[in-house]
A and B are shown apart, each in its own frame.
Chain A
């Protein structure tokens, strides 16, 4: 399978715990995006990488959210001290070199904070 993959697909955690999600983009895609999608809403852009450089992070929801892409391949999104309001689907997408459009989305990680 050469699509975007995300792990885990589902995560249930207790309030106050830290969680980390992983995204593996399509191998030749150098751009990687993270979004949050709450029920009944469209995706909300969080952050963006070109290779290992995080070029946009002002949209991260709070300082509890951080993302990395250390070798320019897979990326991780971490949420520290989770809150019930963090419950959502977290989507990853990647795009072909040289463009921001034609994003290919992964299946998402659904986070439930109890």
Chain B
């Protein structure tokens, strides 16, 4: 079975600081994608960043970057220069074939 684990139910960070959200996963697939999605309060989910498993280089999108450790099956998200608008639930997700598996989420609060 494919699983995604996020061990930090809640985190907080001061505005302008850096925070790292953890994600581990388990899959027997060789070709898969990993994602971080953001779900702000009462708003719809949006894609933050994605990583193809066959790429060794870590993905980066502006203030968001990942640390992808394929052997360890780890996929953490680093948010630099945190902003108040980053306050949201963050979900790590695994895609293989037509299947998607989401983790339970980490609630991030950015404090002024």
Contacts and interface: CB of A to CB of B under 8 A. Distances in A.
B95 A101 contact: yes
B33 interface: yes
Give the dominant DSSP class at A's interface: loop
Interface residues of B, number: 22
Contacts of B35: 101
Interface stretch (A20-28, A35-43, A61-69, A79-87): A35-43
Interface in A81-96: 91, 93
Contacts of B98: 48, 55-56, 100
Contact of A105 (B45, B50, B95, B105): B45
Nearest to B37: A105
Interface of B: 4, 33, 35, 37, 43-47, 50, 91, 93, 95, 97-105
Interface of A: 3-4, 33, 35, 40-45, 48, 55-56, 91, 93, 100-108
